[in-house]
Amino acid sequence: MTLKLMLIALLATASVTAAAAPTISAGARLAAACAACHGTNGDTHGSTLPRLAGQPQQALSASLHAFKTGQRASTIMMQIAKGYSDEQLDLLAAYFAVQKPGAAK
């Protein structure tokens, strides 16, 4: 009987722990790779690289796809964009479009 209660308690604790873990969207996971150059959540500081946060989703998507196909020239982004599927590029564009510029401090 005691073993049964311990097992129930263990299972209950495990489900609460799993439920408490934050869910990270696919777009946020992909965007983590962009932070080194474009800042946290695409909120670039300075004028060297474009701020992605808050840009229109359609414009971001078009730029990313243009980098991937080579229609838009870039030293680094052409190579990086080729590593993503079209769906992943669209997820990135959607993620950055809803980010608030100036929110990451």
Domains (range + CATH), the chain: 26-105 (1.10.760.10)
- Which pTM was predicted? 0.76
What is residue 74's predicted lDDT score, i.e. its pLDDT? 92
> How many Å apart are CA 3 and CA 64, to the nearest integer?
56
- Assigned token pair, 48: 């060297």
Q: What's the longest Cα–Cα distance across the chain?
A: 69
Statement: residue 29 has pLDDT above 60: yes
Could you give the 3-state DSSP secondary structure of residue 4? helix
Q: CA angle 52-56-57, nearest 5°? A: 90
45-82 pLDDT, tens per residue?
888 888 999 999 999 999 999 999 999 999 899 999 99
In the DSSP assignment, the letter for residue 48 is S
The closest alpha carbon to 60, from 103, 102, 14, 92, belongs to 92
